[in-house]
Structure 1
Amino acid sequence: MSERPTIRDVALAAGVGTATVDRVLNGRGKVREETMRKVAEAAHRVGYHASTLIDQRLDSALPEMTFGFVLHKGKQEFYQNFANEIQRAVTARHDIRGRAVVRFSASQSPQDFLTEIAEISGKVDAIASSAVNHQSITQEVQRLKETGVPTFALLNDFAQGIRENYLGLNNMQVGRSAAWMATTAAKQQGKLAVFVGGNRWHGHELRETGFRSFVRDSAPGFHVLDTLVNLETRQVTYEATLELIDRHRDLRGIYVAGGGMEGAIAALREAAEPNTVSLVVNELTADSRAALMDGYVTMVISTPLRQLCADMVEMMISAVKNGSSDVPGQHFLQPQIYLPEAFG
């Protein structure tokens, strides 16, 4: 029978002295986190009997961090997926003892976002939110910054110049891509419609601007109708889309810049043949996937949530460890594009 691995075997495998392994095992003196990790990996590799104790020593030496997240539309599939990816990203970090607190605003009003932010602000080391752009939100972000709690804007930018960073898509570029697809897929020139959630969604305004600028510069044969506000709701989008189809026989394309795409899909299924009106939406869900396959959605522009959450947690850890940056930044991710052929 082979002999049981010893401290000496662990030390040799880790490339350290036996005294270092002893300090890790017994919690005596300070050992660098990197060295502790080497010892822990070596202990598992050689099958050392006290490897679980070394893991416990390593865990107890890691800094504790709690991250707060305030999203909205908690019942929607996209934001449920978002919350799951946040938890996954925090759990995947082995250099901290991390905890994610995810809350959902009851509505899109600034006050409801502020209520949730206030609930967690004294219990977290950093905050990220998909909040609307509003003066009261900006004031709260300033207050949080003064108390040492960095704030990150997710998907929709707010408190520019005060918040730590914006993470999401380049919304101007997203709008231009949507317009390119809507005009390219159209069988002939005609009218185009754009839905935005409301004036407080900075990201939606940028997408609308990008959409209009592309049509103006590259597809002048199309006419973009007055922008429609759908409050990111299914019912408003459904009713407005039916009206668009009824009033504009030359309607060639629709872009839903924010939420509410389910209403546009339902209206097209009811009142139009597949592939007659090009519909461009954001985020891949069960509804948008099915509509792609059935010819009622032409393109989906999707946020890479897993990458976004991993990058976000990395930035939050850095801000907690090193302090806020002197220059607020923007972190753009490359969108994922889905076409009907992807599911054919």
Structure 2
Amino acid sequence: MPGRRPTIPDLAEAAGVSISTVNRVINDARKVRAPTRQRVLRAAQEIGFYGLGSIEHSIRNEAEIHRLGVLLLQKRRPFYADLGRALEQAAQVHLDGRIELTLEYLEDLTPNVVAERLNVLGTKCDSVALVAAEHPLVSEAIDAVLADGVPVVGLITPLTARGPVGFVGLDYYKVGRTAAWAIDRMCPTPGEIGILVGNHRYRNQDQNESGFRSYFREHPRGFTLLEPKLTFENSAAAREMTEQMLAEHPDIRALFVSGGGITGTISALRDAARPEGFVAIGYELMDVTRAALIDGTLDLVISHPIQALAQQTLDTLIRAKRAGPAAGAQNVTLNFEIYTPENL
């Protein structure tokens, strides 16, 4: 609305409600139904209403409170630091209620520690999401939390237990097949392909590899897939495994980094004499992989859409809270993003 500031009557017209309804939203939001509050809020954002802050404050004060817990892996890992920030930002602006987010980073990834932290979060949160390796101790802790009426969602990597466990992440079988398709199209000559996996107990990485191998079984064009090297989610181990692979396999033509320690792999590839036409595919767009795409160390990166991942994690936790464990698992599969040096 150029030329003047939008007024309360303008907002009422834009939202399709009465002036008195707008006034109630501003002054006492609890007297207005939630869908109507959200409609007024969206209209205020769209027209640039001067009292937008008052509306947001009023709605949040009367909003349902969601106590959500999220367990991520080590904060020193750039992807999880980025995801943690995205979750915190999404919680601050979330429209469906007021979110009290308990966000923890797991420095010690041993199953008993993961299980202990999950049990603690289950006592103070309405629903919990976590990134964890598959292990009986973790499954047992999930069932204990579910038994107390607190839904649990596997974040990024699927998790299993006797009870229903939700999931927010990608179709990792398709991720693996997409990486294989790219290598098949980009490699000028066939040869050996290396695979790096952080830990097969992270089921997303196992599914990545499964899809990758499935593609080459279906399209045999002379490539030989090497047995995967385990990095144990450690960048120093990833560097060592990459150097070893390049030294022991002079015919290697490509590398698929399925997960775990990609910063070490990038360092090793930068220092190595690679065969001409060598193709390297990594995961997650972050500062280190962006730089590797730009300087040619990586040719392609397959990534979670981090903002959508954060938003869908919160949405799924709220749906799970409202439905309860008895309603079954809440699942969301997101589309993955593909980056090359040309579309950064």
The bucket for the TM-score relative to the shorter chain is 0.7 to 0.9
Using the TM superposition, name which of 209-218 and 152-161 deviates more: 152-161
Contact 1:153 1:163 in 2 (8 A): no
Residue 237 of structure 1 is matched in structure 2 by 238
Q: How does 1:103-252 map to 2 (within 5 A)?
A: 103-159=104-160, 162-252=163-253
Contact 2:316 2:330 in 1 (8 A): no
TM-score, length-scaled by structure 2: 0.85
Following the alignment from structure 1 to structure 2, what is the Cα–Cα distance between the partners of residues 9 and 339? 46
Report deviation, 1:60. Answer: 3.0
TM-score, length-scaled by structure 1: 0.85
Structure 2: runs of 5 or more not aligned:
1-6
Following the alignment from structure 1 to structure 2, what is the Cα–Cα distance between the partners of residues 122 and 53? 34
Report deviation, 1:23. Answer: 7.2
Following the alignment from structure 1 to structure 2, what is the Cα–Cα distance between the partners of residues 309 and 110? 24
RMSD over equivalenced CA pairs, Å: 3.3
Contact 1:10 1:48 in 2 (8 A): no
Following the alignment from structure 1 to structure 2, what is the Cα–Cα distance between the partners of residues 239 and 184? 28
Q: Which residue type is aligned with residue 145 of structure 1?
A: L
Q: Percent identity?
A: 29
Q: How does 1:1-344 map to 2 (within 5 A)?
A: 15-16=17-18, 30-35=31-36, 57-159=58-160, 162-273=163-274, 276-324=277-325, 326-343=327-344
Contact 2:164 2:328 in 1 (8 A): no
2:142 match: secondary structure? helix
2:227 match: secondary structure? coil
Report deviation, 1:115. Answer: 2.8
Contact 2:71 2:105 in 1 (8 A): yes
2:159 match: secondary structure? coil
Following the alignment from structure 1 to structure 2, what is the Cα–Cα distance between the partners of residues 133 and 26? 49
* CA shift in 2, pair 1:270/1:35, >3 Å: closer
Contact 1:114 1:137 in 2 (8 A): yes
2:266 match: secondary structure? helix
Structure 1 residues 216-239: Cα deviation after superposition (integer angstroms, max 9, x where no partner): 211341111111111011111111
Following the alignment from structure 2 to structure 1, what is the Cα–Cα distance between the partners of residues 256 and 152? 30
Q: Which residue type is aligned with residue 66 of structure 2?
A: M
Report deviation, 1:168. Answer: 0.9
Structure 1 residues 90-125: Cα deviation after superposition (integer angstroms, max 9, x where no partner): 112123111211101123321222232233221111
Using the TM superposition, name which of 316-325 and 331-340 deviates more: 316-325
Q: How many residues align?
A: 337
Report deviation, 1:284. Answer: 1.1
2:342 match: secondary structure? helix
Report deviation, 1:34. Answer: 3.8
* CA shift in 2, pair 1:279/1:148, >3 Å: same
Report deviation, 1:55. Answer: 5.9
Following the alignment from structure 1 to structure 2, what is the Cα–Cα distance between the partners of residues 304 and 190? 32
1:341 match: secondary structure? coil
Contact 1:275 1:296 in 2 (8 A): no
Report deviation, 1:36. Answer: 5.1
Following the alignment from structure 1 to structure 2, what is the Cα–Cα distance between the partners of residues 198 and 42? 48
Structure 1: runs of 5 or more not aligned:
1-5
Following the alignment from structure 1 to structure 2, what is the Cα–Cα distance between the partners of residues 55 and 342? 36
Report deviation, 1:240. Answer: 1.5
Following the alignment from structure 1 to structure 2, what is the Cα–Cα distance between the partners of residues 47 and 184? 52
* CA shift in 2, pair 1:244/1:324, >3 Å: same
Q: Which residue type is aligned with residue 153 of structure 1?
A: G
* CA shift in 2, pair 1:325/1:313, >3 Å: farther
Q: Which residue type is aligned with residue 309 of structure 1?
A: A
Structure 1 residues 22-76: Cα deviation after superposition (integer angstroms, max 9, x where no partner): 8778869954334556778899999999x98776553332111111000002111
* CA shift in 2, pair 1:108/1:276, >3 Å: farther
